Structure 1
């Protein structure tokens, strides 16, 4: 479920993720926010067996005070269950989840260090795992930041599942894409048996300059 509620524009999150803000990941690297891209939220009923209620914010960023290093960042913020937004802080704190880990953090952590797959997937550049303070939407709830490599190129499809990018290429370049896809698929699947799910053309990024094909791991959008 996606709504227009802007969790990152109110309360303790307000102005924390504006252009020019500096975010420091757990390894000490500082990242400067360049652009806010997309907000989403998944707010569930109490005691839902699925992932806890949370909001996400995708940003474009770069290493601060260093050679340009473009990257993407996503913030995962636990939010209250449906109907409990205005309960007292103690009630909201009881909802704090101490076990949640974003699927993309797990994927980037695993695949970035793999000698074969790391050639075809964006690299994990940093992360920060912290808890919300007493004034947070869910005091003690998770606040997790993931930073991953920006991959040059364009998606071969869109979120509808159509291979729009692929069909916009010339016949010669489509043949190159097919060749790279077959080789990449065989190399990844035979080595570790991992492939993005659900499969979709938008998860494939083609760089026509370097003639490289990369797999996008992000679960909620095209980048």
Structure 2
């Protein structure tokens, strides 16, 4: 009997009281199979004594003092899948000896595939592999290309887990990027901060977004996978609009300006009824809210 497969992306959905960030579920006929689950998990893969500081050796030795744990994410794969399973944890930190230097530290570590946590040492060790998180790839590339509208990568380290880990010799990756100054324009519910600003302020932000932020990030080739106002930070002191949040991203190429790009980040509001056929070109924005 032929297999019929459907892939569904569930975004910001809670299932069985587990707060999912998103899940990709593969429904196969005749039997369903979950291939990937990614969530903000209530189960921590970073147990043990609370982390107080994190040390990096390169490019220059530095120590980062943990201020708070921001979040954790879990990314699990079916054992028949070719990709990897991992967990990540994000900390807000300050640099030792320079309390004005605030940054985020992210740690990624390899996990056993779904259902293999209790397998023997040798079986689990076979899953070990080297891997560079896409988030590190993004920040390193943006920094190497001297982006002025994204956070700078400050330190990073790629190593292996020890023999007592769930995945002996599995990847363990840590990196630091700066916390940019300014105010976040919104969250997953919309750009409330942005729309509470004066019309002149909103106009200034949109102009910077159009002429600098989106142009520079597209030129380098990155955009967050789920565009939205949570990815924009406005620094009124410098007049700079930063794009942040590259845990998940897509590769892009520069395209001509369209107000549709403002809409993606909730910097413009079309009327409820929109002629979607226009979105391949420049939509009629005469009755949009700016």
1:36-51, aligned counterparts within 5 Å?
A: 36-50=69-83
Q: Per-residue CA shift, 1:137-163, capped at 9, x if unaligned?
A: 211001101110101122223124x22
The correspondence for 2:173, drawn from 140, 144, 148, is 144
Aligned mates of 2:101, 2:214 — CA distance in 1: 31
Q: Give the superposition deviation at 1:21.
A: 2.3
Task: Name stretches of at least 5 consecutive residues in structure 2 with no aligned partner.
Answer: 1-37, 249-290
Deviates more, 1:83-92 or 1:143-152: 83-92
Quote the residue 1:124 is aligned against. Answer: 153
Task: Name stretches of at least 5 consecutive residues in structure 1 with no aligned partner.
Answer: none
- Name the SS for the 2:223 alignment partner: coil
The answer to whether the 8 A contact 1:22-1:64 is kept is: no
The correspondence for 1:201, drawn from 214, 221, 229, is 229
Larger RCO: 1 or 2 (CA < 8 Å, sep 6+): 1
Taking structure 1 as reference, are residues 73 and 186 closer, same or farther at Cα in structure 2, changes over 3 Å only?
Answer: closer
The answer to which structure has the higher helix fraction is 1
Aligned length: 209
Taking structure 1 as reference, are residues 177 and 65 closer, same or farther at Cα in structure 2, changes over 3 Å only?
Answer: same
2:62 paired with 1:29: yes
User: Which TM-score applies when normalising by structure 1?
Assistant: 0.85
The answer to whether the 8 A contact 2:213-2:241 is kept is: no
The answer to whether the 8 A contact 1:121-1:217 is kept is: no
The correspondence for 1:77, drawn from 109, 116, 131, is 109
The answer to whether the 8 A contact 1:107-1:217 is kept is: no
Give the greater-gyration-radius structure (CA).
2
User: Which TM-score applies when normalising by structure 2?
Assistant: 0.67
The answer to whether the 8 A contact 1:89-1:134 is kept is: no
CA RMSD of aligned residues (A): 2.0
